[in-house]
Structure 1
Amino acid sequence: MNVNAPKAQFRPNSKLALVDCDIHPRLRAPEDLKPYLSSRWWDTWQTYGLRKRHGFVKGHPYPKSQPGDGARRDAWPTNGDPPGSSLQLMQEQHLDYHGVDVGIMNPLWPGSGDQNLDLSAALASAHNDWQLDFWHAKEPRLRPSIVVPYENIEASVAEIHKRAANKAFCQVFLLSRTNEALGRRKYWPIYEAAVEHNLPIGIHVFGYSGIPISNSGWPSFYIEEMAEHGTACSALISSMIMEGLFERFPTLKVVMIEAGFGWVPSLGWRLDKHWQKMKDEVPHLKRPPSEYLKQNVYVTTQPIEEPEKPEYLVDLIDWIGWDRVMFASDYAHWDFDDPVFAVPTNWSEERRRKLRFENAMGVFRL
């Protein structure tokens, strides 16, 4: 398992801006959140911990060989803090080195899907304050996401309304493995609040739903877990389309993060095929499912597809739309994508502009 990010042999003097849609900041220690939690919630968190809805008591989506939650080995600060917790190292390794103009922060483990709904709300709000104070205030290129306790709908809506006036926040952040499929009407108030403030919904893979990532049981291997993200996201997006979410909120933008995008065309083809024969089951859909997919759903590049023939990658994006794909690095994870390789320099400048920054500028409040 190669967990050191490959260094580019050259750094092209690109004049094109770069927006990174997936950077993972980490707490140095739980005490980083203590200033933002009441004594009640701090004591609850430290005494009883989180109660994740998961099939295995000690189940974890990352291999034990990577104690930094799947991080690059060279991303560990010299003082032993977790990867992704050092602003200085993040600047040196990524923001400055790759010329990142805007980096969107996606905190992965804020407790937002915890079974204790009130603790979940407190931790989500604390993470939002922490993103502002510890990261954005010191490095304005880093933009926070509105972390919401997505199983606590009322608190999620309140958190969106609380944060939306601060234009530093650029999306509402969810994880993909929720208690119910994300198209279910239970979650619609979250989408309504996002639309009200012209905020996209960013959905990052992983999470704790108590449901296997596959529809055939719990995987035995980490490789399986990684490969199943595409099929899991297919089910998630199918739910959103078939439940009529995009008919109800036609301007809603959904960004799928860290799922790649090779699964998108086959999903569109399959949904259209079945819809043609069974559209009477979903009369609320006024158009073929693939049209909602192409209009309302955006994808990020990481982990970039690597077909044996480079033209296959171009064919994929041709179907999805060059205005629907955005660069993401996944810093500081072991399978980090370098923009030099994820957005090839032999593509036309128009295509590179779209993937590097133009699409993100239109989706997020940048």
Structure 2
Amino acid sequence: MTTALLEGTTRDAVWTGLVIDCDVHANVPSLTALDRYLDPVWVVTAKERGWKGPVGLRLSYPPGAPTTARAEWRHGAATPASDLATVQKEILDPWRVERAVLNCYYAIDAMRHPDWAAALSRAVNDWLIDEWLSKDPRLVASLVVPARDPVAAATEIDRVGHHPGFVQVLMPVRSERGYGQRIFWPIYEAMARHDLVMGIHWGGQAEQGPSPTGFASWYIEEYAAEPQVFAAQLTSLVIEGVFQKFPSLRVSMLEGGFTWLPTWAWNLNKKWKGLRRDFPWVDRLPTEIIRDHFRFSIAPTDMGPPDQMKRVLHWLGSEDMLMFATDYPHLHTDDLAALLALMAPTMKANVMSETARRWYRL
């Protein structure tokens, strides 16, 4: 049986109830796996250029980095989490997962060719339907879009957003500008039409550096700085008035942690009270908007001392802000048992399954 989020801990020792995993990765094994879903012009172009796939994937998830895949989930030269049978064996079956949300980050946002990016998004979505969603009823998925091109992204959402297997649209956390800005609103209009969640996920290749102060020297700096970008996107969505314009929009923050949220939200409330004359469309406290429109995966948890973590959970202000995630196949050494031990029984059930069930309409 696979381990839980803490090495050496089994699923039954941690939790015996229902499980919905809101972040399981499905990785494209190679560019050639998408050939049959692509127009021949793109297949030929890739072969002529010797192009093996978006370079941004290796930047966001360095293949040799321990965080990219746990040792027991690596299988020789094969791309981790790239075939259904392996995911079933290592996560779905041992965790007795009722439903799992597949997230395929393929770094299409790293591409500068708009037509090629749109074609590759279509191919990945069709591959997800054929190779994953049609073969295991436990699976739902995030729809992949060319995030740099909002009009093309909206077109792709309208093309396959009606498919019952898609419950979310995956958006990389790094972008050229804040997601609250109006250039992105066609995407939210399309999400609203199909009642899809916006999933803001680790990754993204913007023109500028991967942190608010530019490029880092080491991967660890980039990795540790990522919560700043999640916080910036949350702030942009709240302050720009996205939820007043699209009141049904729901946003999942995935693979970005959550322990930063209470202090950030408190500070945002403080600034709103002093400066709200500048943005009168935000007609209530930011914390109220966040609790209505955002949910957070628990991987990574950044588990601290129990007394401090208990305060963090209390400061979230609601028992249904968090959703369970293994973030398979990535490495997190969070102690799920210790985290659950701090929660009331109703909160445990929400975290492990019921919040995601409501959020994704499962």
TM-score past 0.5 threshold: yes
TM-superposition CA deviations, 1:118-143 (whole Å, max 9, x none) = 11111111111111111122222121
Residues in 2 aligned to 1:337 and 1:95: alpha-carbon distance in whole angstroms: 19
Distance 1:50 1:236, change over 3 A: farther
Q: Number of paired residues? A: 356
Larger mean Cα displacement after TM superposition, 215-224 or 189-198: 215-224
Point out 4+ residue stretches in structure 1 off by more than 4 angstroms. Answer: 50-54
Contact 2:255–2:327 (Cα < 8 Å) also in 1: yes
Larger mean Cα displacement after TM superposition, 323-332 or 136-145: 136-145
Determine the structure 2 residue equivalent to 1:313: 309
TM-superposition CA deviations, 1:242-268 (whole Å, max 9, x none) = 111111112210110000101111121
Determine the structure 2 residue equivalent to 1:364: 360
Distance 1:139 1:72, change over 3 A: same
Contact 1:326–1:355 (Cα < 8 Å) also in 2: yes
Q: Which of 225, 229, 234 is the equivalent residue of 1:232?
A: 229
Larger mean Cα displacement after TM superposition, 14-23 or 98-107: 14-23
TM-superposition CA deviations, 1:80-131 (whole Å, max 9, x none) = 3111113222222211111211111111115144211111111111111111
Give the match's secondary structure for 1:315: helix
Residues in 2 aligned to 1:9 and 1:241: alpha-carbon distance in whole angstroms: 39
Give the match's secondary structure for 2:304: coil
Give the match's secondary structure for 2:108: coil
Contact 1:170–1:364 (Cα < 8 Å) also in 2: yes
Determine the structure 1 residue equivalent to 2:48: 47
Q: Does 1:139 align with 2:136?
A: yes
Larger mean Cα displacement after TM superposition, 207-216 or 192-201: 207-216
Distance 1:254 1:333, change over 3 A: same
Identity fraction in percent = 30
> Deviation of residue 316 (structure 1)?
1.8
Determine the structure 2 residue equivalent to 1:205: 202
- Taking the TM superposition and a 5 Å limit, the aligned residue runs for 1:208-357 are 208-308=205-305, 310-320=306-316, 321-335=318-332, 340-341=336-337, 344=340, 347-357=343-353
Distance 1:324 1:229, change over 3 A: same
Larger mean Cα displacement after TM superposition, 344-353 or 35-44: 344-353
Larger mean Cα displacement after TM superposition, 141-150 or 5-14: 5-14
Determine the structure 1 residue equivalent to 2:36: 35
Runs of at least 5 residues in structure 1 that lack an aligned partner in the other structure: none
Contact 1:177–1:209 (Cα < 8 Å) also in 2: yes
> Deviation of residue 190 (structure 1)?
0.5
Residues in 1 aligned to 2:179 and 2:10: alpha-carbon distance in whole angstroms: 42
Give the match's secondary structure for 1:170: strand
Residues in 2 aligned to 1:73 and 1:88: alpha-carbon distance in whole angstroms: 18
Give the match's secondary structure for 1:172: strand
Larger mean Cα displacement after TM superposition, 216-225 or 122-131: 216-225
Q: Which of 75, 99, 102 is the equivalent residue of 1:102?
A: 99
- TM-score of the superposed pair, with normalisation by structure 2: 0.90
TM-superposition CA deviations, 1:163-209 (whole Å, max 9, x none) = 12211111111111112111110001101111122111001011101
Amino acid at match of 1:44: T
Determine the structure 1 residue equivalent to 2:71: 73
Distance 1:188 1:336, change over 3 A: farther
Distance 1:59 1:357, change over 3 A: closer
Distance 1:63 1:81, change over 3 A: closer
> Deviation of residue 346 (structure 1)?
6.4
Residues in 2 aligned to 1:305 and 1:360: alpha-carbon distance in whole angstroms: 21
Distance 1:102 1:27, change over 3 A: same
Larger mean Cα displacement after TM superposition, 143-152 or 6-15: 6-15
Contact 1:167–1:365 (Cα < 8 Å) also in 2: no
Structure with a larger share of its residues in helix: 2
Give the match's secondary structure for 1:238: helix
Amino acid at match of 2:39: S
